[in-house]
Amino acid sequence: MHLLAEALVAALILIGAFFLFVGALGLARLPDMMRRLHGPTKATTLGIGALLIASMVYFAAVRGTFSIHELLITLFLFLTAPVSAHMLAKAHILRSGGRRDLPPTGTRTGWATLDDCKSDGT
């Protein structure tokens, strides 16, 4: 394997390990559920993405072929992690009673998650 490919794989593994550590630390240390969502959905998604890209580069350098599996897993994680975090946040807001000092929206309509749908807009 070429020195450049080895350096790239090593850098991606270190970056991925750093983001995974930060995400796990955030999950363990942040005080409430809404703040704990950022650890696994932001940092660990980047960490896993970096590790999977390192795997792609490694196997491309060793075997000489491109593997699509790691790319598909990375894309799936980048698409599903924000959606699942959004759904967890909405469920938490609704379960906790909803109104927790939210700022005004500046329009006639309120927060979509918290307000009932009304046909007249009031």
pTM of the model: 0.72
For each of the chain's 122 residues, which pLDDT tens digit applies? 789 999 999 999 999 999 999 999 988 898 888 888 877 888 888 899 999 999 999 999 988 888 888 889 988 988 888 888 888 888 887 777 765 566 677 777 766 655 554 444 44
User: DSSP secondary structure string, the chain?
Assistant: --HHHHHHHHHHHHHHHHHHHHHHHHHHH-SSHHHHTHIIIIIHHHHHHHHHHHHHHHHHHHHSS--HHHHHHHHHHHHHHHHHHHHHHHHHHHHTTS-SSPPP-SSSS--TTTSPP-TT--
